[in-house]
């Protein structure tokens, strides 16, 4: 598009220079040329501005907020909470009476009728005409009410199980948020680490270019053989893939962050994360961490919820072996009819006849009295499942304690490595500065200068990796304790 606009502008200028304005005055042509040129330039800049991808910078806090907002998993967990809340309402509904109504209409194609009768009572025969035994199109309306009176804890067990499921759904949502925050933190600093590595690699590449320039100057002055130039040039070219690899790592790290943030519309804008990879030491107390983990760790909380569910389930199995007591009431009205004519009566006096009935219903599964019954087997199974969960919970708590201790040891190790690498970077810088001067004066070879460059490069990379490892261990500790950050 820019090329087309450019050709248009230059074509008009060429037209002016060739004097091709025989039908227009020169001044008028000049005004039109400037006007059209201004319009073309406007569209060129408009095209450039609209096609240039905008760069959006995000801090760690902004990235976390965006990730929580875009997470489809979090939205799904929120829907699970709504479903669990509906389950609680459903379980509680068993406490209230159940009311139902029904209506029926029946058509009899052959309406039953009693035959005519002749009765002789001594005064001569009397004819008694037949009558209809029932209506041809009866209508019946009925209302039923059922109320549980006593269920030996069945309803309350069901409500408690539904409430525990709701608690687990909320726990899942909070854990998803917490876990996503920690993942974003880890990926964010992974990206910052990759950027810092690119900086170090570019610094080393610049040092190798300087070494090549020195080698060329010394060779031009006749102070060194061409071998030094070839060696320095080979060293420079062989290091360029390291820089390219580091730059690719930045792209991969950014893709990982974008995936966690739910960013899918790539190409419309660029994302740049703003942060710094520096050591931030925290003080930890082992006993406090263990105590906090027992109360907040997701695995322990989930295990506790499962134990509660299993406990309620076992209680429910016991109560299912006991009788249930309920009350019921029914009121039914039926349409009337004329027994003489068989005509249905839906309106008027004596058209409907009502009947009310109430009662108590006691139900019990008698097979539960036998030791081989399925109810007894289900109760035993629930008891074993409960005991297994309690045993597993103790094992999980023990594993968490051990994990916390290991991470604290790792933090101390990484903290010591950071201090060591800081001193190592300082010494490597001094050694490289000395080696560079000695190389300029021809006192050492390119190989010795290369060794100094490598030591400095490794020292810088080692420092960055140690800082990242320390942060990564902190993130591991957050996962174990069950929080998303330490105060």
CA angle, 309 then 314 then 317, to 5°: 125
| Per-residue pLDDT band at 24 (split at 50, 70, 90) | very low
Q: pLDDT at position 268, please?
A: 65
Q: Which residue has the higher pLDDT, 58 or 10?
A: 58
- What is the rounded average pLDDT of the residues 234-253? 94
**Which structural domain range is residue 412 located in?**
61-87+158-321+395-481
Proportion of the chain above pLDDT 70, given as a percent: 86
Confidence of residue 273 (pLDDT cuts 50, 70, 90): very high
What CATH number should be reported for the domain holding residue 229?
Answer: 1.20.1600.10
Confidence of residue 104 (pLDDT cuts 50, 70, 90): very high
38 and 66 in a single domain? The answer is no
Residue 414 and residue 469 in one domain? yes
Instruction: Please give the torsion angle defined by the CA atoms of residues 175, 179, 180 and 185, in that order, rounded to the nearest 10 degrees.
Output: 150
Report if residue 272 sits inside a domain.
yes
Q: How many beta carbons lie within 10 A of that of residue 367, not counting itself? A: 12
Quote the CA–CA distance of 256 and 262 in Å, as a whole number.
10
* Domain co-membership, 313 together with 429: yes
Tell whether 464 and 442 lie within a shared domain: yes
pLDDT at residue number 116 = 73
How far CA 210 is from CA of 200, 204, 426, in Å, comes to 15, 10, 21
Q: Rounded to two decimals, what is the model's pTM?
A: 0.76
83 in the same domain as 44: no
Q: Determine the Cα–Cα distance for residues 9 and 40; give it in Å rounded to an integer.
A: 7
User: Is the Cβ–Cβ distance between 152 and 289 less than 8 Å?
Assistant: no
Q: Are residues 217 and 274 in the same domain?
A: yes
Residues 154/324, Cβ–Cβ less than 8 Å = yes
On whether residue 451 sits in a domain, the answer given is yes
State whether 400 and 424 are in the same domain: yes
Phi-psi region at 267: left, alpha or beta (left = phi > 0; alpha = psi -120 to 50): left
pLDDT in tens, 116-132: 777 666 666 777 777 88
Helix H, strand E, coil C: the string for the chain is: CHHHHHHHHHHHHHHHHCCCCCCCCHHHHHHHHHHHHHHHHHHHHHHHHHHCCEEEEECHHHHHHHHHHHCHHHHHHHHHHHHHHHHHHHHHHHHCCEEEEEEEECCCCCCCECCCEEEECCCCEEEECCCECCCCCCEEEEEEEEEEEECCCHHHHHHHHHHHHHHHHHHHHHHHHHHHHHHHHHHHHHHHHHHHHHHHHHHHHHHHHHHHHHHHHHHHCCCCCHHHHHHHHHHHHHHHHHHHHHHHHHHHHHHHHHHHHCCCCCCCEEEEECCCCCCCCCCCCHHHHHHHHHHHCHHHHHHHHHHHHHHHHHHHHHHCCCCEEEEEEEEEEEEEECCCCCCEECCCCCCEEEEEEEEEEEECCHHHHCCCCHHHHHHHHHHHHHHHHHHHHHHHHHHHHHHHHHHHHHHHHHHHHHHHHHHHHHHHHHHHHHHHHHHHCCCCCHHHHHHHHHHHHHHHHHHHHHHHHHHHHHHHHHHHHCCCCCC
Query: 4 pLDDT exceeds 80?
Result: no
* 8 Å CB contact between 1 and 51: no
pLDDT of residue 44: 39
In a domain? residue 149 = no
The confidence band for 266, taking pLDDT boundaries of 50, 70 and 90, is low
pLDDT in tens, 343-361: 888 888 888 888 999 999 8
> Are 70 and 45 in the same domain?
no
Same domain, 8 and 79: no
Does the structure show a pLDDT above 60 at 7? no
What's the CA gap between 452 and 435, in Å, rounded? 7
Residue 108 maps to a domain:
no
Q: Are residues 19 and 83 in the same domain?
A: no
413 and 272 fall within a common domain: yes
Residue 41 lies in a domain: yes
Average pLDDT over residues 280-308: 90
Please give the structure tokens belonging to residue 159: 């409500």
Top mean pLDDT of 249-253, 262-266, 395-399 is at 249-253
383 assigned to some structural domain:
no
- Does residue 145 lie in a domain region? no
Number of domain units in the chain: 2
Give the residue-averaged pLDDT of 416-423: 95
pLDDT band at residue 53 using 50, 70 and 90 as cut-offs: low
Residue with tokens 């009558």: 131
- Please state, in angstroms and rounded to a whole number, the distance separating the CA atoms of residues 359 and 170: 43
Residue 170, pLDDT score:
95
pLDDT at 157: 87
Average pLDDT of the segment spanning 272-286: 91
Digit-coded pLDDT (tens) for 177-235: 999 999 999 999 999 999 999 999 999 999 999 999 999 998 888 888 888 899 999 99
On whether residue 215 sits in a domain, the answer given is yes
- Contact yes or no for 282/474 (Cβ under 8 A): yes
Averaged pLDDT, 315-341: 86
Q: How confident is the model at residue 253 (pLDDT cuts 50, 70, 90)?
A: very high
């Amino acid at each position: 598009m820019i090329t087309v606009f450019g050709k248009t502008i230059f074509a008009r200028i060429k037209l002016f220079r060739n004097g091709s304005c025989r039908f227009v005055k020169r001044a008028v042509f000049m005004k039109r040329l400037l006007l059209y040129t201004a319009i073309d330039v406007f569209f060129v800049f408009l095209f450039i501005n609209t096609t240039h991808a905008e760069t959006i910078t995000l801090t760690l806090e902004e990235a976390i907020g965006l990730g929580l907002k875009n997470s489809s998993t979090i939205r799904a967990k929120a829907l699970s909470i709504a479903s669990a809340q509906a389950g609680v309402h459903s379980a509680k509904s068993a406490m209230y009476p159940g009311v139902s109504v029904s209506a029926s209409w029946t058509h009899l194609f052959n309406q039953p009728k009693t035959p005519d009768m002749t009765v002789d009572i001594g005064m001569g025969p009397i004819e008694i005409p037949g009558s209809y035994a029932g209506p041809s199109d009866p209508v019946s309306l009925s209302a039923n009410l059922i109320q549980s009176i006593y269920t030996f804890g069945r309803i309350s067990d069901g409500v408690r199980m539904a409430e525990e499921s709701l608690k687990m759904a909320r726990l899942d949502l909070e854990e998803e948020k917490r876990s996503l925050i920690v993942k974003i933190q880890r990926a964010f600093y992974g990206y910052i680490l990759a950027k810092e590595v690119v900086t170090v690699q570019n610094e080393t590449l610049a040092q190798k270019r300087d070494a090549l320039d020195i080698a060329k100057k010394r060779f031009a002055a006749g102070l060194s053989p061409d071998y030094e130039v070839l060696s320095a040039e080979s060293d420079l070219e062989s290091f360029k893939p390291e820089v390219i690899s580091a730059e690719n790592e930045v792209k991969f790290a950014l893709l990982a962050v974008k995936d966690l943030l739910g960013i899918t519309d790539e190409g419309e804008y660029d994302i740049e994360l703003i942060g710094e990879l520096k050591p931030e030491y925290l003080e930890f107390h082992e006993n406090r961490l263990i105590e906090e983990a027992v109360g907040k760790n997701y695995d322990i909380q989930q295990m506790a919820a499962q134990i509660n569910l299993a406990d309620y389930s076992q209680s429910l199995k016991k109560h299912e072996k006991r009788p249930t007591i309920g009350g019921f009431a029914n009121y039914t009205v039926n349409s009337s009819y004329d027994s003489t004519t068989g005509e249905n009566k839906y309106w008027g006096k004596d058209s409907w006849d009502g009947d009310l009935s109430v009662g108590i219903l006691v139900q019990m599964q008698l097979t539960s009295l036998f030791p081989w019954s399925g109810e007894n087997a289900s109760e035993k199974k629930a008891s074993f499942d409960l005991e297994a969960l309690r045993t597993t919970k103790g094992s999980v708590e023990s594993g968490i304690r051990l994990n916390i201790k290991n991470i604290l040891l790792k933090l101390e190790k990484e903290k010591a490595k950071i201090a060591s690498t800081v001193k190592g970077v300082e010494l490597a810088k001094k050694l490289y500065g000395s080696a560079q001067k000695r190389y300029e004066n021809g006192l050492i070879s390119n190989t010795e200068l290369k060794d100094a460059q490598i030591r400095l490069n490794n020292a810088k990379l080692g420092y960055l990796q140690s800082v990242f490892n320390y942060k990564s261990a902190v993130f591991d500790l957050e996962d174990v304790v069950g929080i998303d950050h330490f105060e």
